[in-house]
Chain A
Amino acid sequence: MDIFKLLSDTFLDWKAIGEVLPKMFAVGLPNTLVLAVTSGVIGTVLGMVLALMGISRNAAARWIARIYTDVLRGLPPILTILVIGLGFGPIFRQVTGSSSPYPMAIAALSLMSAAYIGEIFRSGIQSVDKGQLEATRALGFGYGPAMRLVVVPQGVRRVLPALVNQFIALIKESSLVFMLGLLATEREIFQIGKDAASNSGNLSPYVAAAVFYLALTVPLTHFVNWIDRRLRSGRPEKKEPDEAAAVVGKGAQA
């Protein structure tokens, strides 16, 4: 029984967890959301640009997208965040006078996720039957409008589950910004847990941090599954009046 006691003292010290909760809600959660949402939005926009470059008829654009994607996908996230945060941070500080590590952290997270999201979008767009582009162009649309109105929306729809998975990864990777050194007001879920754990010498605040991450990621995971099912089976078709009414004409089948 000593082992259980030891484990519960280490991980489930309710007092330590209770003490860290207010800070988690007031500081950690908003900061994590700011990091993940901002870089998610920027990463999605950049990813779409990369995807369109990747399928462009211009060879230079294709190559730039290819090299960018290979490099940013091939590096460990922590290395990218450190290099961009520590390398470009001082320059950013000189230019803007802001010493917050957030802009560089968001830049690093955005650039990384753009590489993945670009590949997700590219595969989705390329999976759209080429007859769709041909039919749209045959109506008199130019290449750009045909892609924008018909091909890209279909491609994006197909890869929504993969895209949401990427957002989940982004929420988790946002914890790595602690490497850049954060002021008290800038700390996100992981750093708050880490601080509290070092102060109390107890690991329970990490458990609290874990619960916060799971509260964000688990619903998203199920959201992915829901979209996936919906995309597979389609929206339940509303019965049309004449088909619904046709029951009358079918005679006594029961």
Chain B
Amino acid sequence: MSEFVSGSLTARNIHLSFGSNRVLRGIDLHVEKGSTASVIGPSGSGKSTLLRVMNRLIEPDQGDILLDGRSVLKDNPDELRRRIGMVFQQFNLFPHKTVAENVSLALRKLRGMSKEQARDEALAQLELVGLKHKADSRPANLSGGQQQRVAIARALAMKPEVMFFDEATSALDPELVKGVLALMADLAKGGMTMVVVTHEMGFSRNVSDSVTFMDAGVVVETGPPEQLFTAPRTERLKGFLSDVL
């Protein structure tokens, strides 16, 4: 896997409420350039929302977000999102476009590439995820694992500095999970800065450089995987781990 031009990402004291529901209550998260942070925690703890706040799909009520040490809250949010790739639980491929068109759409419309140029680049990205031969298929004719790999190629095509994964393997059949996790591990090794919201404790423990445990909109514990998995300090993390492991 080739080298990436990645950057560090920091979230500082992020607050977000939906009406009276306080979803995020002062979240801090720091991901070093080229490292992988996994975020674990029970459903409804605010993990997925945190990702959407960090790429400003949702604007925070309070707090700051820094990409490569510089605050991005005053930037154009559309331009910020071009620098952060995102992969979703439900893949969210465009069903009315071919696999190659899924990957090349943003290259053509946002990077201003010609049709041929964008297709060549899309094919190169598809080759990286092992799906060049499916370039002219529709997403519906691919397995879940293949669809998710296309979604990863689509995000990588924009040459992002950071990649977000929002429970990227939760919707996959068990036998397809491994291939997608292996691809994510390759990206991590290749030096991509990644934030991975996941229920895959194996991935969290073996691939990520740091683990953050969230519950009810706050960070309960954060640290290296060995520390969190072998010596959890809080009752809440102990309880969570005994439920999922």
Q: Are A242 and B133 in contact (CB under 8 A)?
A: yes
Q: Determine if A135 and B109 form an interchain contact, defined as CB atoms under 8 angstroms apart.
A: no
A26 vs B138: C-alpha distance when bound (angstroms): 47
* Minimal Cβ-Cβ distance residue in B for A140: B82
In chain A, what residue has the closest Cβ to B81? Answer: A140
The answer on a CB contact under 8 Å between A138 and B94 is no
Say yes or no: B92 contacts A132, CB within 8 Å: yes
A234–B88 contact, CB under 8 A?
no
* Residue in A129, A134, A141, A234 whose beta carbon sits within 8 Å of that of B78 in the complex: A141
Using A140-B158, A141-B106 as known contacts, say yes or no to A237 and B90 having CB atoms under 8 A apart. Answer: no
State which size class the interface on A falls in. 20 to 34
When A and B form their complex, what is the total count of cross-chain residue pairs whose Cβ atoms lie within 8 Å?
66
Closest to A142 in B: B78
Is residue B74 within 8 Å, beta carbon to beta carbon, of the partner chain? no
A201 within 8 A of B: no
Cβ–Cβ contact B94 & A140, under 8 A: no
Contact indicator B96/A234 (Cβ below 8 Å): no
Of A131, A137, A139, A242, the contact of B90 (CB 8 Å cutoff): A131
Q: Is the CB of A134 within 8 A of B109?
A: no
Of the candidates A129, A132, A138, the one whose C-beta lies within 8 Å of that of B55 is A138
Q: Which residues between 134 and 174 of chain B lie within 8 Å of chain A, taking CB atoms?
A: 137-138, 140-141, 151, 154-155, 158
What range describes how many residues of B lie at the interface? 20 to 34
Q: Which of B219-233 contact A (CB under 8 A)?
A: none
Which of A47-55, A149-157, A210-218 forms part of the interface with chain B?
Answer: A149-157
User: Chain B residues with Cβ under 8 A from A137's Cβ?
Assistant: 57, 78, 81
Query: What 1/0 mask marks residues of chain A from 157 to 168 whose CB sits below 8 Å from any chain B CB?
Result: 100000000000
Between A and B, 25 residue pairs with Cβ closer than 8 Å are A129-B92, A132-B92, A134-B57, A134-B88, A135-B92, A135-B151, A137-B57, A137-B78, A138-B55, A138-B81, A139-B105, A139-B106, A139-B154, A139-B158, A140-B81, A140-B106, A140-B110, A141-B78, A142-B78, A154-B95, A154-B96, A157-B96, A234-B140, A237-B141, A240-B133
